[in-house]
Amino acid sequence: MIQLHDITYHYPDGTPGLSHVDLTLHKGECCVVTGPNGCGKSTLFRVLNGLAFPQSGSYLLDGQPVTERSLRSRSNAAAFHRRIGYLFQNSEAQLFTRSVEDEIAFGLWQLDLPEEEVHARTEKYLRMLSLEAMRHRAPFHLSGGEKKRCALAAVLAMEPEALILDEPLGGLDEEGQQWISDCIRSLKGPDRLILLATHSRSLADSIADRRLTMDKDHRLYSAE
C-alpha cells in the first residue's frame, strides 16, 4: 500500500529528520517503530501524512506518487486524508473544536456522510473511548490522557484504511494504557494497515506483526 524509497528529509533550519529511509507497508499488517528520542519517528509519520515533503526520495501510495504538488489538488488531498488517519504525538496540536462531540463529528462532516451516519459514528466512538460524560466539554480543557482519547476517537471515527498512531499511549495512566492497547489491538484486521510509534515495550510486543527501529542517525532498519 505504502512505499518509501530512499527518503531523506531535513527541517528548514537544517536539522536532519530522516536519512535514506526505505519502507514498504502492506494492508493488513501492524508495524511498530521504536527508537530513541529524536531519531525521526514523528518526522517519518509527518512525511507519510503529507505534512512534510522530503528533499529526496519517493513516496508511493498504491503506486501513485504523493508529493507537495499532488496534494495541492483539493480532491487528491481529500482522498488521501480519507485513507490515512493520523494521531499526532501531541494531541493539543490536533484538537481545535469547541466540544468533544464536535471534535469527533468534524471530520465526518468533511466526508460528506449522511447526517444519521455522522450521528451514529459520533455516538459509537464517544462510547468506545468512554468520552460520553465529557461530550460537551472543550477538548482544550481536558487532561492530557483525556485529550489523547478524544483525538484518537476523532481519528478512528473516520474509519481509515491506514492508521498511523504516534505514541498512542503518551500521557496515559496504567489503566488507560492497557485499555487503549486493547482498543488498538481490536482494530487489527486484513483490510487495515496500522503503523505506530511507541516507547512501550509491552504494546510493541503484544501488537506488532513487524518491528522497525530507527537509530540516532535517522536511519530505519528492520528489527527482526
Ligand X SMILES: Nc1ncnc2c1ncn2[C@@H]1O[C@H](COP(=O)(O)OP(=O)(O)OP(=O)(O)O)[C@@H](O)[C@H]1O
> Binding of ligand X at residue 75 (CB under 6 A)?
no
Residue nearest to Mg ion (CB): 42
Which one of Mg ion, ligand X, none interacts with residue 186, CB within 5 to 8 A by kind?
none
d(CA 196, CA 198): 6
Q: Which residues pair with 25 in a beta bridge?
A: 2
The owner of cell 514498504 is 24
Task: Tell me the closest approach of the beta carbon of residue 218 to ligand X, in angstroms.
Answer: 7
Task: Tell me the closest approach of the beta carbon of residue 111 to ligand X, in angstroms.
Answer: 29
Angle between helical axes of 100-110 and 115-128 (0-180°, round to 10): 140
Work out whether strand 162-166 and strand 193-197 pair parallel, antiparallel, or are unpaired.
parallel
Q: Which residues pair with 214 in a beta bridge?
A: 220
* Among 3, 20, 38, 106, contact with ligand X (rule: CB under 6 A): 38
Task: Tell me the closest approach of the beta carbon of residue 122 to ligand X, in angstroms.
Answer: 30
Which one of ligand X, Mg ion, none interacts with residue 40, CB within 5 to 8 A by kind?
ligand X
Which one of ligand X, Mg ion, none interacts with residue 109, CB within 5 to 8 A by kind?
none
Taking CB under 6 A as the binding criterion, the range among 39-47, 128-136, 155-163, 182-190 that sits at the site for ligand X is 39-47
Which one of ligand X, Mg ion, none interacts with residue 11, CB within 5 to 8 A by kind?
ligand X
- Residues in contact with ligand X, counted by CB under 6 A, come to a total of 13
Task: Look at phi and psi of residue 117 and say left if phi exceeds 0, alpha if psi is from -120 to 50, else beta.
Answer: alpha
Taking CB under 6 A as the binding criterion, the range among 12-20, 91-99, 103-111, 140-148 that sits at the site for ligand X is 12-20
Where on the chain is the footprint of Mg ion (CB under 5 A)? 41-42, 89
Task: Tell me the closest approach of the beta carbon of residue 65 to Mg ion, in angstroms.
Answer: 26
Q: 128 to each of 57, 141, 149, 184, 200, how far by Cα in Å? A: 39, 21, 10, 11, 22
> Binding of ligand X at residue 42 (CB under 6 A)?
yes
Give the footprint of ligand X on residues 82-141 (CB under 6 A). Answer: 89
Q: Which residue's CB is nearer to ligand X, number 46 or number 149?
A: 46
Binding-site ranges for ligand X (CB under 6 A): 11, 13, 15, 17, 35, 37-43, 89
